[in-house]
Amino acid sequence: MKCWHCQEELIWGGDHTYEDYCISGEGIVTNLSCSNGACDVEQVLVYAGDQDADSSEGEAISPEKA
Ligand SMILES: [Zn+2]
């Protein structure tokens, strides 16, 4: 994924759940930063909602297992 501002490659910083960002629903927030130090873009957050309840990734949160 490239920065839309300077076209340099974005650096993956990590993934967080919607819960970590106090967002209702289920999804993943991916944290990216621009590799260009002179670029004005300091951070890019990608919000990817989990629309499919039957995700095959095996990381679905099961409240009943708490
Ligand atoms: Zn940039």
Judge whether 4 lies within some domain: no
Judge whether 16 lies within some domain: yes
Total number of domains in the chain = 1
* pTM assigned to the model: 0.66
CA of 42 to the centre of ligand 1 (A): 8
Q: What is the DSSP string of 12-65?
A: EEEEEEGGGGT-SS-EEEEEEEES-TT-S---EEEEEE---TT-TTS----GGG
Judge whether 2 lies within some domain: no
pLDDT at 18: 95
CA of 45 to the centre of ligand 1 (A): 13
CA of 13 to the centre of ligand 1 (A): 15
Contact between 34 and 5 under an 8 Å Cβ cutoff? The reply is: yes
Judge whether 1 lies within some domain: no
CA of 1 to the centre of ligand 1 (A): 11
At residue 28 the predicted structure's pLDDT band, cuts being 50, 70 and 90, is very high
pLDDT digits (tens, 9 = 90+) for 32-65: 999 999 999 999 999 999 876 554 555 555 666 5
DSSP state of 44: E
d(CA 36, CA 24): 33
At residue 17 the predicted structure's pLDDT band, cuts being 50, 70 and 90, is very high
Contact between 16 and 29 under an 8 Å Cβ cutoff? The reply is: yes
Range of the domain at 57: 10-61
| 39: its two tokens | 């670029």
Judge whether 21 lies within some domain: yes
CA of 16 to the centre of ligand 1 (A): 22
